[in-house]
Amino acid sequence: MNKQELIEAVATSTGASKSKAGETIDALIDTISGAVADGADVQLTGFGSFTQGKRAARVGRNPRTGEEIRIPAAKTVKFTAGKAFKDAVNGHRK
């Protein structure tokens, strides 16, 4: 499912227009992205949680030349699925 299909599904499910559903989904994504970028955890009970992780600096190797390169530390985003989401994926829907 791509974003447009998600918008159509939400619009159909809620009875809202596609443009209103699109605005709502965009606002949700922006809010979650902003919160995690600021270091906050976002927990959606039954769905999952978004958190910020850290990847340490390390030494890598250029596959073409074999030369060692330094890879800087970076922030990452982690998603952990909630129990209800895992159960739905595994066919244990209520």
pLDDT per residue of the chain (94 residues) written in tens, 0 to 9: 999 999 999 999 999 999 999 999 999 999 999 999 999 999 999 999 999 999 999 999 999 999 999 999 999 999 999 999 999 999 876 5
Q: Is 67 helix (H, G, I), strand (E, B) or coil?
A: coil
Count of other CB atoms within 10 angstroms of residue 36: 20
Tokens read off for 70 = 């330094």
- Read off the DSSP letter of residue 92: -
**Strand partners of residue 54:** 75
Fold of 41-94: HU Protein; Chain A (4.10.520)
pLDDT of residue 93: 65
- Predicted TM-score of the model (pTM): 0.78
pLDDT of residue 92: 75
SS3 content of the chain, % helix, strand, coil (to 5): 40, 30, 30
